[in-house]
Structure 1
Amino acid sequence: MTTHGPVTPGPARLVVLVSGSGTNLQALLDACADPAYGAVVVAVGADRDGIEGLARAERAGVPTFVHRVRDFHDRPAWDAAVADAVAAHEPDLVVSAGFMKLAGPAFLARFGGRYVNTHPALLPSFPGTHGAADALAYGVKVTGATLFVVDEGVDTGAIIAQRAVEVLDDDDVASLHERIKVAERSMLVESVGRMVRSGWSVNARRVTVG
């Protein structure tokens, strides 16, 4: 069993990684504005320039960094650089908020058990980049969102929390995905808050908060 929790005095330190619009990041920034939440976003990292997620961080006065894969000679070098950039901010928890790159061995060696991600389906169903579309195509009546601890696989880590979302008869991919994102943001904010205030443990595939 591995137990985690804040290791620095004061609010827990969050580093958030983004690749796009940053709506999950904004939800965390809004939550952190309340001191009772128990956390502060100390940095936002990205793999792309010019995205709204970075603009959200800059408007909030949060430091940012960008490491593009194409600027490195290979993927392991990029992975190590991202790990170094994140580590420089001494995070208690690292949150993937729409970060569309897989963590490599160097990153997981430093942040294993402290790196979480969301997925727009009820894992282990419909992993990968098209969770909502795959659920709709399969014809399930309930799908949802999952928060999990990132491991070496694709959406295979130990599950922290899940939220169910009903699939409506007239749903298309856009409408279903939008309702999943609403559930996902709420789940992320609530779960991260509980984790940083109470600590968490990872024992095989079981995650216990508190």
Structure 2
Amino acid sequence: MTDTPPPRRIVVLISGSGTNLQALIDAQDTPALPNAHIVLVLSNRKAAYGLTRAASARPPIPTAYLALAPYLKAHANATRADYDAAVAALVVGAQPDLVVLAGWMHVLSERFLDAVSPIAVINLHPALPGAFDGAHAIERTYAAFQRGEVRGGGAMVHRVVREVDRGEPLVVREVEIREGEAMEAFEERLHRTEWEIIVEGARKALDEVRPA
């Protein structure tokens, strides 16, 4: 009898409600994300509902919380890069095969990337490659559509590199903006696309480092 390989390990970083995290929770150890378990959910916001989602999963997923301002207050002379190193230490301690930034609202510095290397790190971003890097991408996409500058929007899962939202795309999905559509309606449809591609991107990245 062939021994079953140990589950592939995922760490997820969040800042908010965790709907993208929920998509990963629901997909773990299914045909969409086979032989994969989330081993840690880390938030930089104490009240992030994603922590509750993780704790309510079956079995419960371990969680951690580390925010920038309290960290700097507790560590005299510490810098933002020191905080990133502390985040990296928590991540590396969970021994993941993959790190997924799922709504993590903090730009990670080289200190983080150097500390977690060679672990793969991917990010979900609600815009097409090279279109609207950084924060508020959905609002900026919608505004550009209203000005006639773009025909629609989209979302992607990409590798995390030093340049914000400039890593190699793993999964890209276009999402149309309908004439007369409110931004909230576009945003809702885009989020549904995100729930699909974050799972697809996680599987693709995992299959590269540890095939199921």
TM-score norm. by structure 1 comes to: 0.86
Residues 1:76 and 2:75 are matched in the alignment: no
Residues 48-127 of structure 1: matches in 2 within 5 Å? Answer: 48-60=45-57, 61-73=60-72, 74-112=79-117, 114-127=120-133
Distance 1:138 1:20 in 2: 26
Q: Which has the higher strand share?
A: 1
* Contact map agreement 2:10 2:96 (CA 8 A) in 1: yes
4+ residue stretches of structure 1 with deviation over 6 A? none
Task: Give the CA deviation at 1:33.
Answer: 4.4
For residues 172 and 43 of structure 2, the distance between their equivalents in structure 1, rounded to whole angstroms, comes to 25
CA contact (8 A) 1:163 1:183 kept: yes
Distance in 1 (alpha carbons) for counterparts of 2:26 and 2:208: 21
Q: What's the counterpart of residue 4 of structure 1?
A: none
Aligned to 1:154: 164
1:11-26 to structure 2, matched below 5 A, reads 11-26=7-22
The aligned residue for residue 204 of structure 1 is none
Q: What secondary structure does 2:6 align onto?
A: coil
- The 3-state SS of whatever aligns with 2:114 is helix
Return 5+ residue gaps in structure 1 as ranges.
1-8, 201-208
Following TM superposition, by how much is the alpha carbon of 1:38 offset from its aligned partner in structure 2, in angstroms? 2.3
Q: TM-score, normalised by structure 2?
A: 0.85
**1:10 paired to 2:6:** yes
User: Which has the greater radius of gyration?
Assistant: 2
Cα distance in 2 for residues equivalent to 1:72 and 1:66: 11
The answer to whether the Cα contact below 8 Å between 1:38 and 1:193 also exists between their aligned partners in 2 is no
| Displacement of 1:134 | 1.3
Number of paired residues? Answer: 193
2:75 paired residue number: none
Q: Which amino acid aligns with 1:104?
A: S
SS at match of 2:37: strand
Kept after mapping to 2: 8 A contact 1:83/1:107: yes
1-structure distance, mates of 2:19, 2:174? 20
Q: 2: distance between equivalents of 1:156 and 1:190?
A: 19
